[in-house]
Amino acid sequence: MRKQRDGMLRFFGSAQRLRLIVTLMTLLFVSSCTTDSQPSMVLRADRVKASAANRVGVVASMVQYSGLSVKPSPGSPEWKLVVLGGYDYVDEDLCTPFLDNLFVAERKLRATRNQISDTGTAAMAIMSIAGTSLEAIGYVAASLGLAKSSIDNYEILRLVDLGPSRVRQLVTRAQIAYREQTIKNGGDYNQEVLAMNAVAGYLDLCRVPTIVSLIDRAVDNTGFVADTSSNLAAPQLLTVGGMQVSANEALRASEHGQARFVPKDPDAPIVAVPKGGTRIAGAITSYEKEIDLLDGKRIQQALCVPDDGNFGNHQSKTRLAIEQFKLAWGRRVTIPSGDSPKTLNSPDQRLAILSKGSAARCNSWQNHTFEMFLFPEPQNVVEFKDNFIRIMTEEKIAPDVVARIEKDDQFGPNLREAIKAFQDNRKLPITGFLDTKTYDEIVKGRS
Protein backbone atom coordinates (compact mmCIF):
# COMPACT_ATOMS: atom_id res chain seq x y z
CA MET A 1 0.00 0.00 0.00
CA ARG A 2 2.82 2.42 0.85
CA LYS A 3 4.42 1.65 -2.54
CA GLN A 4 1.13 2.60 -4.19
CA ARG A 5 1.01 5.89 -2.31
CA ASP A 6 4.67 6.62 -3.05
CA GLY A 7 4.01 5.89 -6.70
CA MET A 8 1.08 8.29 -6.73
CA LEU A 9 3.24 11.01 -5.18
CA ARG A 10 5.96 10.45 -7.80
CA PHE A 11 3.23 10.47 -10.46
CA PHE A 12 2.24 13.99 -9.47
CA GLY A 13 5.74 15.22 -8.48
CA SER A 14 6.87 16.46 -11.90
CA ALA A 15 3.60 18.31 -12.47
CA GLN A 16 3.98 20.09 -9.14
CA ARG A 17 7.49 21.29 -10.00
CA LEU A 18 6.28 22.56 -13.37
CA ARG A 19 3.40 24.35 -11.70
CA LEU A 20 5.74 26.07 -9.26
CA ILE A 21 7.89 27.37 -12.15
CA VAL A 22 4.84 28.61 -14.08
CA THR A 23 3.48 30.33 -10.97
CA LEU A 24 6.73 32.14 -10.22
CA MET A 25 6.90 33.39 -13.82
CA THR A 26 3.27 34.50 -13.64
CA LEU A 27 3.81 36.41 -10.41
CA LEU A 28 6.78 38.23 -11.99
CA PHE A 29 5.18 39.23 -15.29
CA VAL A 30 1.42 39.64 -14.77
CA SER A 31 0.38 43.23 -14.08
CA SER A 32 -1.65 43.91 -10.99
CA CYS A 33 -4.22 45.84 -13.02
CA THR A 34 -5.17 43.03 -15.42
CA THR A 35 -8.56 41.37 -15.23
CA ASP A 36 -9.24 37.71 -14.53
CA SER A 37 -9.17 36.16 -18.00
CA GLN A 38 -7.89 32.72 -17.04
CA PRO A 39 -10.18 29.74 -17.55
CA SER A 40 -11.26 27.54 -14.67
CA MET A 41 -8.73 24.94 -13.58
CA VAL A 42 -9.64 21.38 -14.58
CA LEU A 43 -7.99 18.05 -13.81
CA ARG A 44 -5.77 16.82 -16.63
CA ALA A 45 -7.75 14.59 -18.99
CA ASP A 46 -4.97 12.01 -19.40
CA ARG A 47 -4.81 11.42 -15.64
CA VAL A 48 -8.56 11.16 -15.31
CA LYS A 49 -8.61 8.61 -18.13
CA ALA A 50 -5.76 6.64 -16.58
CA SER A 51 -7.45 6.67 -13.19
CA ALA A 52 -10.44 4.76 -14.54
CA ALA A 53 -8.12 1.79 -15.02
CA ASN A 54 -6.73 2.24 -11.52
CA ARG A 55 -9.94 1.35 -9.68
CA VAL A 56 -8.56 -2.07 -8.76
CA GLY A 57 -5.57 -0.47 -7.04
CA VAL A 58 -7.75 2.05 -5.22
CA VAL A 59 -10.06 -0.69 -3.94
CA ALA A 60 -7.03 -2.74 -2.86
CA SER A 61 -5.73 0.22 -0.85
CA MET A 62 -9.04 0.55 0.95
CA VAL A 63 -9.13 -3.17 1.73
CA GLN A 64 -5.62 -2.79 3.18
CA TYR A 65 -6.73 0.13 5.36
CA SER A 66 -9.67 -1.92 6.64
CA GLY A 67 -7.30 -4.45 8.20
CA LEU A 68 -8.56 -7.29 6.00
CA SER A 69 -6.10 -9.54 4.19
CA VAL A 70 -8.27 -10.11 1.11
CA LYS A 71 -11.19 -8.41 -0.61
CA PRO A 72 -14.53 -9.63 0.85
CA SER A 73 -16.80 -11.81 -1.23
CA PRO A 74 -20.10 -10.43 -2.62
CA GLY A 75 -22.73 -10.15 0.11
CA SER A 76 -20.17 -10.24 2.93
CA PRO A 77 -20.80 -7.93 5.93
CA GLU A 78 -17.05 -7.21 5.91
CA TRP A 79 -17.64 -4.69 3.12
CA LYS A 80 -18.65 -2.30 5.92
CA LEU A 81 -15.07 -2.53 7.20
CA VAL A 82 -13.82 -1.70 3.70
CA VAL A 83 -16.08 1.37 3.71
CA LEU A 84 -14.63 2.55 7.03
CA GLY A 85 -11.11 1.74 5.82
CA GLY A 86 -11.86 3.75 2.70
CA TYR A 87 -12.84 6.71 4.84
CA ASP A 88 -9.50 6.49 6.66
CA TYR A 89 -7.73 6.26 3.30
CA VAL A 90 -9.51 9.41 2.13
CA ASP A 91 -8.73 11.26 5.36
CA GLU A 92 -5.05 10.38 5.60
CA ASP A 93 -3.99 10.30 1.94
CA LEU A 94 -6.27 12.86 0.29
CA CYS A 95 -8.39 15.21 2.39
CA THR A 96 -5.98 16.04 5.22
CA PRO A 97 -3.06 16.90 2.87
CA PHE A 98 -5.36 19.21 0.87
CA LEU A 99 -6.68 21.00 3.97
CA ASP A 100 -3.13 21.30 5.35
CA ASN A 101 -2.06 22.85 2.04
CA LEU A 102 -4.82 25.43 2.36
CA PHE A 103 -3.17 26.69 5.55
CA VAL A 104 0.18 27.01 3.76
CA ALA A 105 -1.43 28.72 0.77
CA GLU A 106 -3.29 31.17 3.02
CA ARG A 107 -0.06 32.21 4.75
CA LYS A 108 1.85 32.54 1.47
CA LEU A 109 -0.93 34.51 -0.20
CA ARG A 110 -1.34 36.84 2.77
CA ALA A 111 2.34 37.75 2.49
CA THR A 112 2.07 38.68 -1.21
CA ARG A 113 -1.58 39.73 -1.57
CA ASN A 114 -0.69 43.43 -1.79
CA GLN A 115 1.28 42.66 -4.96
CA ILE A 116 -1.42 40.42 -6.46
CA SER A 117 -4.71 42.03 -7.42
CA ASP A 118 -5.44 39.61 -10.28
CA THR A 119 -7.78 36.78 -9.27
CA GLY A 120 -6.35 34.29 -11.76
CA THR A 121 -2.79 34.95 -10.62
CA ALA A 122 -3.75 34.55 -6.97
CA ALA A 123 -5.57 31.29 -7.78
CA MET A 124 -2.50 29.98 -9.59
CA ALA A 125 -0.38 30.85 -6.56
CA ILE A 126 -2.69 28.76 -4.40
CA MET A 127 -2.70 25.91 -6.91
CA SER A 128 1.10 25.85 -6.90
CA ILE A 129 0.82 24.69 -3.29
CA ALA A 130 -2.48 22.80 -3.17
CA GLY A 131 -2.60 21.58 -6.77
CA THR A 132 -0.92 18.22 -6.17
CA SER A 133 -3.28 17.24 -3.37
CA LEU A 134 -6.26 18.40 -5.44
CA GLU A 135 -5.15 16.30 -8.40
CA ALA A 136 -4.67 13.31 -6.11
CA ILE A 137 -8.27 13.77 -4.94
CA GLY A 138 -9.41 14.00 -8.57
CA TYR A 139 -7.38 10.93 -9.50
CA VAL A 140 -9.08 8.73 -6.92
CA ALA A 141 -12.47 10.39 -7.49
CA ALA A 142 -12.35 9.42 -11.16
CA SER A 143 -11.37 5.87 -10.17
CA LEU A 144 -14.52 5.72 -8.05
CA GLY A 145 -16.71 7.01 -10.87
CA LEU A 146 -17.29 10.60 -9.78
CA ALA A 147 -17.76 13.01 -12.65
CA LYS A 148 -14.88 15.30 -13.56
CA SER A 149 -15.17 18.53 -11.61
CA SER A 150 -13.77 21.91 -12.60
CA ILE A 151 -12.25 24.23 -10.01
CA ASP A 152 -13.25 27.83 -10.49
CA ASN A 153 -10.68 30.49 -9.62
CA TYR A 154 -13.13 32.29 -7.38
CA GLU A 155 -14.00 29.06 -5.54
CA ILE A 156 -10.43 28.26 -4.55
CA LEU A 157 -9.86 31.88 -3.49
CA ARG A 158 -13.07 31.81 -1.50
CA LEU A 159 -11.87 28.86 0.58
CA VAL A 160 -8.60 30.61 1.40
CA ASP A 161 -10.28 33.93 2.18
CA LEU A 162 -12.88 32.26 4.39
CA GLY A 163 -10.08 30.81 6.48
CA PRO A 164 -8.64 27.28 6.30
CA SER A 165 -9.57 26.57 9.93
CA ARG A 166 -13.26 27.28 9.23
CA VAL A 167 -13.11 25.15 6.09
CA ARG A 168 -11.56 22.29 8.06
CA GLN A 169 -14.25 22.55 10.74
CA LEU A 170 -17.01 22.51 8.14
CA VAL A 171 -15.60 19.50 6.29
CA THR A 172 -14.94 17.65 9.56
CA ARG A 173 -18.52 18.14 10.75
CA ALA A 174 -19.84 16.89 7.44
CA GLN A 175 -17.55 13.85 7.62
CA ILE A 176 -18.63 13.06 11.19
CA ALA A 177 -22.29 13.10 10.16
CA TYR A 178 -21.52 11.02 7.07
CA ARG A 179 -19.67 8.43 9.17
CA GLU A 180 -22.55 8.27 11.63
CA GLN A 181 -24.95 7.59 8.76
CA THR A 182 -22.63 4.78 7.64
CA ILE A 183 -22.62 3.17 11.09
CA LYS A 184 -26.43 3.25 11.19
CA ASN A 185 -26.77 1.75 7.70
CA GLY A 186 -23.82 -0.64 7.86
CA GLY A 187 -25.85 -3.56 6.56
CA ASP A 188 -26.53 -1.71 3.32
CA TYR A 189 -22.90 -2.01 2.19
CA ASN A 190 -22.47 -5.69 1.29
CA GLN A 191 -21.27 -5.36 -2.31
CA GLU A 192 -18.18 -3.73 -3.81
CA VAL A 193 -20.17 -1.21 -5.84
CA LEU A 194 -22.18 -0.07 -2.79
CA ALA A 195 -19.05 0.16 -0.64
CA MET A 196 -17.17 2.19 -3.24
CA ASN A 197 -20.19 4.43 -3.79
CA ALA A 198 -20.20 5.24 -0.06
CA VAL A 199 -16.47 6.01 -0.11
CA ALA A 200 -16.93 8.17 -3.20
CA GLY A 201 -19.56 10.21 -1.39
CA TYR A 202 -17.20 10.67 1.56
CA LEU A 203 -14.39 11.77 -0.76
CA ASP A 204 -16.76 14.18 -2.50
CA LEU A 205 -17.13 16.11 0.77
CA CYS A 206 -13.51 17.19 0.34
CA ARG A 207 -13.78 18.43 -3.25
CA VAL A 208 -13.79 22.19 -3.77
CA PRO A 209 -17.24 22.54 -5.44
CA THR A 210 -18.86 20.50 -2.66
CA ILE A 211 -17.18 22.54 0.08
CA VAL A 212 -18.42 25.73 -1.57
CA SER A 213 -21.89 24.16 -1.75
CA LEU A 214 -21.67 23.35 1.97
CA ILE A 215 -20.77 26.95 2.73
CA ASP A 216 -23.66 28.29 0.64
CA ARG A 217 -26.15 25.89 2.18
CA ALA A 218 -24.95 26.75 5.70
CA VAL A 219 -25.67 30.41 4.96
CA ASP A 220 -28.99 29.71 3.22
CA ASN A 221 -30.25 27.57 6.10
CA THR A 222 -29.24 29.82 8.98
CA GLY A 223 -32.14 31.43 10.79
CA PHE A 224 -32.35 34.14 13.43
CA VAL A 225 -34.46 34.58 16.55
CA ALA A 226 -34.65 37.35 19.11
CA ASP A 227 -32.51 36.94 22.21
CA THR A 228 -35.17 37.36 24.89
CA SER A 229 -32.60 37.03 27.68
CA SER A 230 -30.73 40.18 26.60
CA ASN A 231 -31.17 43.32 28.71
CA LEU A 232 -29.59 45.65 26.16
CA ALA A 233 -31.64 48.47 24.66
CA ALA A 234 -31.03 47.42 21.07
CA PRO A 235 -32.55 44.09 19.96
CA GLN A 236 -30.12 41.16 20.01
CA LEU A 237 -30.28 38.17 17.69
CA LEU A 238 -29.32 34.52 18.03
CA THR A 239 -28.52 32.25 15.10
CA VAL A 240 -30.35 28.94 14.84
CA GLY A 241 -29.83 25.92 12.60
CA GLY A 242 -32.13 25.46 9.66
CA MET A 243 -33.53 22.49 7.76
CA GLN A 244 -31.58 19.32 7.04
CA VAL A 245 -29.71 19.50 3.74
CA SER A 246 -27.64 17.17 1.62
CA ALA A 247 -24.05 18.26 1.27
CA ASN A 248 -24.07 17.42 -2.42
CA GLU A 249 -27.58 18.51 -3.42
CA ALA A 250 -26.49 21.64 -5.28
CA LEU A 251 -23.73 19.72 -7.00
CA ARG A 252 -26.17 17.08 -8.18
CA ALA A 253 -28.30 19.78 -9.77
CA SER A 254 -25.42 21.19 -11.82
CA GLU A 255 -23.35 18.04 -12.42
CA HIS A 256 -25.70 15.09 -12.73
CA GLY A 257 -22.96 12.48 -12.69
CA GLN A 258 -22.42 13.10 -8.98
CA ALA A 259 -25.59 11.33 -7.89
CA ARG A 260 -24.25 7.82 -8.51
CA PHE A 261 -22.30 7.59 -5.27
CA VAL A 262 -25.43 7.58 -3.07
CA PRO A 263 -26.20 3.90 -2.26
CA LYS A 264 -29.86 4.56 -1.41
CA ASP A 265 -32.43 7.27 -2.18
CA PRO A 266 -30.42 10.02 -3.96
CA ASP A 267 -32.72 12.68 -2.51
CA ALA A 268 -32.21 11.66 1.12
CA PRO A 269 -30.13 14.07 3.21
CA ILE A 270 -26.64 12.91 4.11
CA VAL A 271 -25.49 15.76 6.31
CA ALA A 272 -27.80 16.78 9.13
CA VAL A 273 -27.36 19.91 11.21
CA PRO A 274 -26.77 18.72 14.81
CA LYS A 275 -29.20 19.92 17.43
CA GLY A 276 -27.79 22.89 19.27
CA GLY A 277 -26.48 22.31 22.77
CA THR A 278 -26.26 18.51 22.47
CA ARG A 279 -23.31 17.20 24.48
CA ILE A 280 -22.01 13.82 25.58
CA ALA A 281 -23.40 12.15 28.69
CA GLY A 282 -21.19 11.21 31.62
CA ALA A 283 -18.82 14.17 31.20
CA ILE A 284 -16.48 14.64 34.18
CA THR A 285 -13.96 17.34 33.29
CA SER A 286 -14.69 20.87 32.09
CA TYR A 287 -13.22 19.95 28.71
CA GLU A 288 -15.47 16.90 28.35
CA LYS A 289 -18.57 18.98 29.12
CA GLU A 290 -17.94 20.92 25.90
CA ILE A 291 -17.64 17.84 23.66
CA ASP A 292 -20.42 17.65 21.07
CA LEU A 293 -22.43 14.42 21.01
CA LEU A 294 -21.42 13.47 17.46
CA ASP A 295 -17.79 14.23 18.24
CA GLY A 296 -18.03 12.14 21.41
CA LYS A 297 -19.38 9.20 19.44
CA ARG A 298 -16.52 9.51 16.99
CA ILE A 299 -14.06 9.50 19.91
CA GLN A 300 -15.67 6.31 21.21
CA GLN A 301 -15.39 4.69 17.78
CA ALA A 302 -11.70 5.62 17.69
CA LEU A 303 -11.26 4.08 21.16
CA CYS A 304 -12.86 0.79 20.02
CA VAL A 305 -15.86 1.01 22.39
CA PRO A 306 -19.63 1.27 21.74
CA ASP A 307 -20.51 4.72 20.42
CA ASP A 308 -23.54 5.51 22.58
CA GLY A 309 -22.43 9.06 23.40
CA ASN A 310 -22.15 8.26 27.12
CA PHE A 311 -18.62 8.30 28.56
CA GLY A 312 -19.95 6.85 31.83
CA ASN A 313 -18.32 6.50 35.24
CA HIS A 314 -14.70 5.60 36.00
CA GLN A 315 -15.35 1.90 35.37
CA SER A 316 -17.12 2.26 32.02
CA LYS A 317 -15.64 0.83 28.82
CA THR A 318 -15.02 4.33 27.49
CA ARG A 319 -13.14 5.41 30.64
CA LEU A 320 -11.01 2.25 30.64
CA ALA A 321 -10.23 2.79 26.95
CA ILE A 322 -9.21 6.41 27.64
CA GLU A 323 -6.87 5.09 30.34
CA GLN A 324 -5.30 2.63 27.89
CA PHE A 325 -4.90 5.40 25.33
CA LYS A 326 -3.14 7.62 27.87
CA LEU A 327 -0.84 4.81 28.98
CA ALA A 328 0.28 4.43 25.35
CA TRP A 329 0.26 8.13 24.46
CA GLY A 330 2.26 8.95 27.59
CA ARG A 331 5.19 6.98 26.14
CA ARG A 332 5.68 9.73 23.54
CA VAL A 333 4.44 12.91 25.23
CA THR A 334 4.55 14.31 28.75
CA ILE A 335 1.16 14.21 30.45
CA PRO A 336 0.74 16.69 33.37
CA SER A 337 1.02 15.00 36.76
CA GLY A 338 -2.46 16.12 37.83
CA ASP A 339 -4.13 14.79 34.69
CA SER A 340 -6.67 12.11 35.59
CA PRO A 341 -5.87 8.90 33.66
CA LYS A 342 -9.49 8.17 32.71
CA THR A 343 -10.64 11.58 31.50
CA LEU A 344 -9.99 13.86 28.53
CA ASN A 345 -8.56 17.22 29.51
CA SER A 346 -7.29 18.96 26.38
CA PRO A 347 -7.79 19.30 22.61
CA ASP A 348 -4.41 17.59 22.10
CA GLN A 349 -5.73 14.39 23.69
CA ARG A 350 -8.88 14.46 21.56
CA LEU A 351 -6.84 15.08 18.41
CA ALA A 352 -4.42 12.25 19.23
CA ILE A 353 -7.35 9.83 19.58
CA LEU A 354 -9.12 10.88 16.40
CA SER A 355 -5.97 11.07 14.29
CA LYS A 356 -4.75 7.54 15.06
CA GLY A 357 -7.87 5.69 16.14
CA SER A 358 -10.58 4.42 13.80
CA ALA A 359 -13.01 1.57 13.37
CA ALA A 360 -10.73 0.03 10.74
CA ARG A 361 -7.67 0.17 13.02
CA CYS A 362 -9.73 -1.21 15.91
CA ASN A 363 -10.55 -4.20 13.73
CA SER A 364 -6.91 -4.64 12.76
CA TRP A 365 -5.78 -4.45 16.42
CA GLN A 366 -8.62 -6.66 17.69
CA ASN A 367 -9.98 -3.74 19.74
CA HIS A 368 -6.84 -3.62 21.89
CA THR A 369 -6.60 0.11 22.53
CA PHE A 370 -3.20 0.15 24.24
CA GLU A 371 -1.45 -1.55 21.33
CA MET A 372 -3.24 0.53 18.70
CA PHE A 373 -2.03 3.83 20.18
CA LEU A 374 1.35 2.41 21.20
CA PHE A 375 2.11 1.77 17.53
CA PRO A 376 0.49 4.64 15.59
CA GLU A 377 2.58 4.00 12.46
CA PRO A 378 3.54 0.75 10.66
CA GLN A 379 7.22 1.61 11.11
CA ASN A 380 6.71 1.51 14.90
CA VAL A 381 5.63 -2.13 14.59
CA VAL A 382 8.67 -2.99 12.46
CA GLU A 383 11.04 -1.42 15.00
CA PHE A 384 9.31 -3.23 17.87
CA LYS A 385 9.58 -6.57 16.10
CA ASP A 386 13.29 -6.12 15.45
CA ASN A 387 14.00 -5.36 19.11
CA PHE A 388 11.68 -8.07 20.39
CA ILE A 389 13.24 -10.73 18.16
CA ARG A 390 16.71 -9.68 19.30
CA ILE A 391 15.72 -10.00 22.98
CA MET A 392 14.05 -13.37 22.46
CA THR A 393 17.06 -14.63 20.49
CA GLU A 394 19.61 -13.43 23.05
CA GLU A 395 17.66 -15.01 25.91
CA LYS A 396 16.92 -18.15 23.85
CA ILE A 397 13.19 -17.97 24.54
CA ALA A 398 11.07 -20.20 22.26
CA PRO A 399 13.48 -20.07 19.28
CA ASP A 400 11.15 -22.17 17.10
CA VAL A 401 8.31 -19.68 17.62
CA VAL A 402 10.59 -16.67 17.11
CA ALA A 403 11.75 -18.08 13.77
CA ARG A 404 8.15 -17.98 12.52
CA ILE A 405 7.41 -14.36 13.44
CA GLU A 406 5.90 -12.60 10.43
CA LYS A 407 8.24 -10.31 8.46
CA ASP A 408 5.82 -7.42 8.02
CA ASP A 409 4.33 -4.46 9.88
CA GLN A 410 1.41 -6.40 11.40
CA PHE A 411 0.80 -8.26 14.66
CA GLY A 412 0.24 -11.74 13.25
CA PRO A 413 -0.59 -15.00 15.08
CA ASN A 414 3.07 -16.08 15.29
CA LEU A 415 4.07 -12.81 16.95
CA ARG A 416 1.20 -13.30 19.40
CA GLU A 417 2.55 -16.77 20.24
CA ALA A 418 6.03 -15.31 20.78
CA ILE A 419 4.60 -12.67 23.14
CA LYS A 420 2.88 -15.46 25.08
CA ALA A 421 6.22 -17.25 25.40
CA PHE A 422 7.85 -14.05 26.66
CA GLN A 423 5.04 -13.49 29.18
CA ASP A 424 5.40 -17.07 30.40
CA ASN A 425 9.15 -16.55 30.81
CA ARG A 426 8.57 -13.38 32.87
CA LYS A 427 5.76 -14.93 34.96
CA LEU A 428 3.22 -12.48 33.58
CA PRO A 429 -0.41 -13.20 32.64
CA ILE A 430 -0.27 -15.10 29.34
CA THR A 431 -2.52 -13.25 26.90
CA GLY A 432 -0.46 -12.69 23.75
CA PHE A 433 -1.32 -8.99 23.94
CA LEU A 434 0.93 -6.19 25.09
CA ASP A 435 -0.02 -4.49 28.33
CA THR A 436 2.05 -1.99 30.29
CA LYS A 437 3.89 -4.64 32.34
CA THR A 438 4.75 -6.77 29.31
CA TYR A 439 5.89 -3.78 27.29
CA ASP A 440 7.98 -2.44 30.19
CA GLU A 441 9.72 -5.81 30.48
CA ILE A 442 10.52 -5.75 26.77
CA VAL A 443 11.85 -2.20 27.03
CA LYS A 444 13.95 -3.24 30.02
CA GLY A 445 15.42 -6.12 28.03
CA ARG A 446 16.20 -3.80 25.15
CA SER A 447 18.20 -1.35 27.28
User: For 58-99, what is each residue's pLDDT tens digit?
Assistant: 777 778 777 788 888 888 888 888 888 888 877 777 777 777
Distance from chain centroid for Cα 188: 22
Looking at residue 355, its pLDDT comes to: 78
35-49, 81-95, 265-279, range with the lowest pLDDT: 35-49
| Helix %, strand %, coil % of the chain (to 5) | 60, 5, 35
Query: What is the C-alpha separation between 437 and 429, in angstroms, rounded?
Result: 10
Whole-prediction pTM value?
0.45
Looking at residue 415, its pLDDT comes to: 95
At residue 303, does pLDDT exceed 90? Answer: yes
Q: Name the DSSP letter for residue 146.
A: P
* 227 Cβ contact list (under 8 Å, min separation 6): 235, 236, 237, 238
- Per-residue confidence at 354, pLDDT binned at 50, 70, 90? confident
DSSP-based three-state secondary structure for 80: helix
Residue ranges in 118-262 assigned as alpha helix (H): 119-143, 153-162, 164-184, 192-204, 208-220, 249-254
Q: Which residue has the higher pLDDT, 364 or 345?
A: 345
State the burial class of residue 37 (Cβ atoms within 10 Å of its Cβ: 0-12, 13-18, 19+).
exposed
Q: Which of 326, 362, 437, 380 is nearest to 65 (CA)?
A: 362
Query: What is the C-alpha separation between 268 and 399, in angstroms, rounded?
Result: 59
% of the chain beyond a pLDDT of 70:
57
At residue 186, does pLDDT exceed 80? Answer: no
Looking at residue 402, its pLDDT comes to: 95
Q: Which of 252, 155, 143, 170 is nearest to 208 (CA)?
A: 155
Looking at residue 126, its pLDDT comes to: 40
Categorise residue 277: left if φ over 0, alpha if ψ from -120 to 50, beta otherwise.
left
Compute the average pLDDT of residues 168-196. Answer: 76
DSSP-based three-state secondary structure for 21: helix
Looking at residue 146, its pLDDT comes to: 44
Contact indicator for 385, 415 with CB cutoff of 8 Å: yes
Q: Which residue has the higher pLDDT, 371 or 31?
A: 371
Looking at residue 10, its pLDDT comes to: 43
Query: What is the C-alpha separation between 173 and 179, in angstroms, rounded?
Result: 10
Compute the average pLDDT of residues 107-127. Answer: 46
Looking at residue 51, its pLDDT comes to: 47
* 370 Cβ contact list (under 8 Å, min separation 6): 324, 325, 327, 328, 433, 434, 435, 436
Compute the average pLDDT of residues 213-237. Answer: 59
- Per-residue confidence at 260, pLDDT binned at 50, 70, 90? very low
Looking at residue 157, its pLDDT comes to: 58
CA angle (250 as vertex; 264, 201 as ends), nearest 5? 40
Query: What is the C-alpha separation between 168 and 100, in angstroms, rounded?
Result: 9
- Per-residue confidence at 429, pLDDT binned at 50, 70, 90? very high
